[in-house]
Amino acid sequence: MTFESPHIRVKDLNVHIGGNHILKNINIDIPDKKLTSFIGPSGCGKTTLLKTFNRLLDRNKDVQIDGQVLVDGENIYGKDIEVTSMRQKMGLLSQRPFPLPMSIYDNIAYGPRLHGTTKKKELDVLVEHYLTATGLWDEVKDRLNGSAARLSIGQQQRLCLARGLAVEPEIILGDEPTSALDPISTQKIEELFLQLKDKYTLVLVTHILRQARRLSDYIAFLYMGEIIEFGPTEDILLRPKEKLTQEYVKGYIS
């Protein structure tokens, strides 16, 4: 399945880690301002695929990446790409929240400060805006200078989302962002994702089929490092064409 002007286009991507072939001939188009989910059993390579999108994999010594990942038509593995500004386009939400070792306020202000916003007034506005956008403002407005580490884990995850949004990304990558959270926090994050779909391109790795169904517009099913099937949510979950997808969706393999 291809799109005319995808936000991210992956072409013939192969990833080897320490001699193991983790991703095999990946070709996929991630549509603009939609939510695309990667599903598949653990170890199938969905997180690795996600991490190739903002080049977080390159930091390991024995990783070999071949092929292209085009973001807005530009190959992010090209020679004269500036990795830091490329990464800034992509917000990342990891499995467990990792607030920075500083206050709640500074966590949000960290990104804007890196990229040149230093005036206290402007930062105040940004902090309030993004904390409001993630529904945290009322919960934390009285302790903005308190430590981010003191927040509950659900609040921390929303703080991390707000922190990511504050650098004005175009794409948000979620690597099983609710797997460490309680049901209520999960619900809050899911609601936020649904709201964000209008403005951002979202890519979500999840192993919860019901979550994929609630949130995604498109689903890609990965198995053993290959994309088995990719299509609209309903097609993949209700009318899968491939036998492997059928078995996974029905719960025979996990």
Partner 1 sequence: MILATLIIAGSLLMILYTIASKGMQSLTWDIISKVPEGGYYIGKGGGILNAIIGSLYISIGATVLGLVISIPVVLYVNIYAKRNSWLANITRLTFDVLFGIPSIVYGAFGFTIMVYFGLRASLLAGIITVTLLVIPILARAIDEVIRLAPTELSDATYALGATRWETSLIFLRQAIPGIITAILLSFGRAIGDAATVLFTAGYTDSIPTSLGQPTATLPLAIFFQLSSPIEEVQNRAYAAALILTFIVLIISLSAKYFSKKLSKHKI
Enumerate binding residues for partner 1 (CB under 8 A). 54, 56, 59-62, 84-85, 87-88, 90-92, 94, 96, 98-103, 110-111, 114-115, 147-149, 160, 163-164, 167, 173
* DSSP codes, 119-130: -HHHHHHHHHHH
Rounded Cα distance, 250 and 34, in Å: 25
CB of 200 to partner 1, least distance (A): 14
Residue indicated by tokens 């529904």:
135
User: CB-wise, 4 or 142, nearer to partner 1?
Assistant: 142
Return the structure tokens found at 235: 């097609």
User: CB-wise, 112 or 240, nearer to partner 1?
Assistant: 112
User: CB-wise, 60 or 251, nearer to partner 1?
Assistant: 60
Around 144, how many Cα atoms within 13 Å sit in the side-chain half-sphere?
Answer: 15
Q: Contact at 8 Å (CB) between 230 and 1? A: yes
Point out which residues pair with 147 in neighbouring strands: 103
CB of 111 to partner 1, least distance (A): 4
Amino acid at the residue 221: F
CB of 93 to partner 1, least distance (A): 9
Rounded Cα distance, 78 and 231, in Å: 28
Minimal CA–CA distance to 37: which of 248, 239, 217, 244? 217
User: CB-wise, 160 or 228, nearer to partner 1?
Assistant: 160
User: CB-wise, 149 or 238, nearer to partner 1?
Assistant: 149
Using only C-alpha atoms, the chain has a radius of gyration, in whole angstroms, of: 18
User: CB-wise, 13 or 56, nearer to partner 1?
Assistant: 56
43: helix, strand or coil: coil
CB of 165 to partner 1, least distance (A): 11
Rounded Cα distance, 159 and 135, in Å: 9
- Strands 8-17 and 20-30 come out as antiparallel
CB of 60 to partner 1, least distance (A): 5
CB of 110 to partner 1, least distance (A): 7
User: CB-wise, 42 or 60, nearer to partner 1?
Assistant: 60
CB of 167 to partner 1, least distance (A): 5
